[in-house]
Structure 1
Amino acid sequence: MGLSCDLFCRVVDNLGDAGVCWRLARQLAKEHGWAVRLWIDDPVPLADLRPGIDPERDVQQVDGVEIRHWPADFSGVHPGQVVIESFACELPAAFVEAMASQPKAPVWINLEYLSAEDWVAGCHGLPSPHPTLPLLKHFFFPGFAPGTGGLIRARDLPDPPLRNVGAELVVSLFCYDNPALPALLQAWAEGDEPVSCRVAEGAARQQVQHWLGRNFPVNATVRRGSLELIAEPFVAQTEYDRRLVDSDLNFVRGEDSFVRAQWAQRPFVWQAYPQEDGAHFVKLEAFLKRYTTGLSGDPQTRNALTNFWMAWNGRGGIGETWPAFRGVLPRLTFHGPRWAKEIAKPGNLEQNLVCFCRERL
C-alpha cells in the first residue's frame, strides 16, 4: 500500500524547482501508489509543464497528484506519513508543529539540489534533529554515484535508438540568459554546415530575438546564413523528453532538463544555474570530472568538450571553441549510452526514496 506524502516546493528557478518536484510527485503517485499532496507557492510554471493544470485553482487533482497552492494559514492541515521539503524551502511553522503532534512523527526529508561533488555520498541520508521538537530531518541527495540518492528516472523509460549526426545538425536550445549565445549564433550562421536550432520559449527565445533584431514569435522560422532558427512553443515535460531524443545536440540548464538530457543519451551542453560568487563553476567542474572519466583515453574529445562547456558558462570564447567541439560530436554520440549505464548504477531516485522512507516508518 502506498504512503501519504506532502511535498513542498518554493519556485526559485521558475521551471527548475517546479519541474523536479512535479516529476517526482507524478512518479511517486504513478509508480509507487503514493497519495501525494504537492504544495507550491507559484503554480504558474506547473501549467507550462503539464497542460490541464489551472494555476488559479487552490486545489486540483492531476495525474494522481493533489496540487495545492501554498496558503498563508496551515492550521487544520494533517501531515502525511512522509514530508518532503524540497531544496531547503523551509516548512511553515504551523505544519512543523503539526508533524510533532502526530502519534508517529512523519519521515521528514530535505531533498537537496543535485551535485556531482565528492562530498555528496558522505552527506546523503544524514539526520538532523529539530532544535526544540521531537522531529528528525534527513538529508536526501540526488547524485551520480553509488551511495547517493540517484537520479529521477521513470521505470519504463526506454533506451533511445542510436542517432547519427546527419548533414544538418539539429540542436535544441534551452538556457538562462547567456552572454555567450550571440557569438555562438554568429558562428553557426557563418559556418559551412547547416544548423537547425529549435529555440525554447523563455530566455532563449528573447535572446535570439534580440540577436536577430526583429520579432521572433512562437512558431516563427528565420534563416540567417547556414542557421535556421525555429521558435518553439512551451511543451509538456513528456514532449520535451522526446525532443531531446530527436536532437543531435541539446543545450540544457539547471537540474531537470540537465538530468533528462543524460537519459536521452545525446551529446549535450549544460548551463549551471549562475551564482554571483562563482559557486556554480565548482558544480560544473565536479560534473565534468565524472562525465569525462570514460573519455580518459581520448584527450582530444575530453578537452574539446571541457573547453566548450566552460565557454558556454562564461569562461572562454564560445566561437573559438565551437569547431573543436563540433568535431568530436560523433564520438560523444557513442559516449551517451555508456554514461547512462554509469548513472543508472545507484538506482533511480524515487525508488531509493521509497525504500529510505519505509525503513524509517
Structure 2
Amino acid sequence: MRVTWDIFCNVVDNYGDIGVAWRLARGLAREHGLAVRLWVDDLRTFHRIWPAIDPLAAGQTSEGVAICAWHTPFVATEPARVVIEAFGCALPEAYLEAMARQSPPPVWINLEYLSAETWVAGHHGLPSPHARLPLTKYFFFPGYTADTGGLPAESGLMARREAFLERSAPGFWRDLQIGAPQADELRVSLFAYENPALSALLDAWAVDARPVTCLVPEGRIIPQLAAWLGVPSLQAGAVHQRGRLRLRILPFTDQDAYDQLLWACDLNFVRGEDSCVRAQWAARPLVWQAYPQADEAHWNKLDALLTLYTVGLDPAAACAVSGMWRHWNAMPDADGVAARWATWRARRAAIEHHAQAWCERLAGAGSLTEKLVEFAEKKLK
C-alpha cells in the first residue's frame, strides 16, 4: 500500500512558503510515487506561482498532487501516515485529535525554514512530545551541510538547466520580446521586497560604463520602481530607459518559467527562501535579500550563508560579494552602493566562476525530498 503524505501550508510570506511546499509536494509525488495531499489556506496566492490551480476549488489535482483548500472550521479528514507541518503553521485541532486516535500515530514532521547557521545541524531531527496528546513532532531543518535535511532540488534539475542554456535560451528571449544580449550587456533579474537601497542601485546602473538590462517580475518592488522613474504606475510589458539602464517589467510567472529567467540572466537579485535556493542552483551570481525580521535577526542568517558561500573566493571577490549582500540588506556599511557595485563589476569574472563551483558543491548537502522520505521511512518501521 502506498504511504500517504499530508503537507499543510499556511501562506504567510507571499510566495516563499507555498513555493517550497509545492516543490516538495511535486517531488514526493513525481520522484517517489507517494500519495500526497497539499492543504493550502490561500489558493489565490498559490495560483500566482502555478496558474493551473483553481483558486476557488475545494479539491483538485495537479502534477499528481491532491490540492485541498484549508478552511476553518476544518473538515473531518483521516490523517495521512506522514504529516508535514510546513514552517510551524499549526495543524488544525480536529486533525491533531484524529492523529492521536491512530495506532500507530502518524509520523509528524515540522519542516523548518532553511538556514546556514551552525546551530541547525544540532537541532535537526529532534523530537518534541505534544503537551497533551500522545504525539511526537520532529523538527526537520533543511540546510547546506550533510548533517542537515538538505536542499530542495528535483532530480534532473542540472540537466534541464544545461539543456535550456544550450538550446532554448534564444527562444526564451524572443518570447519576452527582448533581443539576444549584447556582448557587453549585463542582464539582471530583480525579485525583491521593498528596499531603501533600491534607488541608489538603480542610479549606479544608470551611469554604468556598460548597458544593464533589469528584468523585474511584477511584485512588491514595483511601486518603488515607479517612484524612481517618476511615473504613476508600472504594468507588465512596460519598458523604460534611463542612461545605461533599461528596465523591463515582466508578468508574474510560474515556478518553472522563473527558473528559466534565473538561468538566462547574468546576475539575480532574489528574496526569501525559495528564490534564493533556485538562484544558487542556477549557477549564476546572486544577491540575496533575507526576509526582514525584528531586531535584524535576519542579519545572522545572511552572515551565516555568506560565510559558507564565499569559501574559495579570493579575498577581493569575497569582499565584493559580501559588500553587495550586506548593503542590500541594510547592514552597517561605510561604503555606498555605487562603490559596492563598482567593486562587484571589477570582480565579476571570479564571482561567475565561483557561482558555478558553488552549485556543484551544493549537491553535498543532499536532497530535501530524499532525506525527508528516508527520515519518515525509518520512523514508520
TM-score of the two chains, using structure 2 as the length reference: 0.91
Say which of 217, 237, 246 aligns to 2:255. 237
Aligned residue in 2 for 1:312? 328
Q: Distance in 2 between matches of 1:281 and 1:140?
A: 22
Runs of 4+ displaced beyond 3 Å:
159-166
* 2:105 aligned with 1:105: yes
CA deviation string 1:88-115 (max 9, x = no partner)? 1111111111001012211000000000
CA deviation string 1:36-87 (max 9, x = no partner)? 1111111112111111111111211111111111111335210001000011
Aligned residue in 1 for 2:234? 216
Aligned residue in 1 for 2:316? 300
Structure 2 counterpart of 1:305, one-letter code = V
Structure 2 counterpart of 1:7, one-letter code = I
Query: What are structure 2's unaligned runs of at least 5 residues?
Result: 167-180
Structure 1 counterpart of 2:329, one-letter code = N
Aligned residue in 2 for 1:20? 20
CA deviation string 1:168-200 (max 9, x = no partner)? 000000000011011101111122210000011
Q: Secondary structure at the match of 1:294?
A: coil
Aligned residue in 2 for 1:260? 278
* 2:142 aligned with 1:142: yes
Greater CA deviation, 147-156 or 319-328? Answer: 319-328
- Map 1:122-133 → 2, pairs under 5 A: 122-133=122-133
Confirm or deny: 8 A CA contact 2:76 2:94 kept in the other structure. no
Q: Distance in 2 between matches of 1:39 and 1:337?
A: 36
Greater CA deviation, 71-80 or 149-158? Answer: 71-80
* 2:68 aligned with 1:68: yes
Aligned residue in 2 for 1:58? 58
Q: Distance in 1 between matches of 2:235 and 2:121?
A: 45
Confirm or deny: 8 A CA contact 1:165 1:330 kept in the other structure. no
Q: Distance in 1 between matches of 2:75 and 2:157?
A: 40
Aligned residue in 1 for 2:32? 32
* 2:376 aligned with 1:357: yes
Q: Distance in 1 between matches of 2:305 and 2:372?
A: 23
* 2:342 aligned with 1:326: no
Say which of 185, 202, 210 aligns to 1:185. 202
Shift of 1:165: 9.7
Greater CA deviation, 317-326 or 86-95? Answer: 317-326
CA deviation string 1:259-311 (max 9, x = no partner)? 0000000000000001121000000000000101122xx11001111111100
Structure 2 counterpart of 1:201, one-letter code = E
Structure 1 counterpart of 2:153, one-letter code = R
Q: Distance in 2 between matches of 1:68 and 1:165?
A: 46
Q: Distance in 1 between matches of 2:275 and 2:182?
A: 21
Q: Distance in 1 between matches of 2:139 and 2:156?
A: 27
Q: Distance in 2 between matches of 1:29 and 1:207?
A: 40
Distance 1:287 1:90, change over 3 A: same
TM-score of the two chains, using structure 1 as the length reference: 0.96
Aligned residue in 2 for 1:335? 354
Identical-pair percentage: 51
Structure 1 counterpart of 2:369, one-letter code = E
Q: Distance in 2 between matches of 1:71 and 1:306?
A: 43
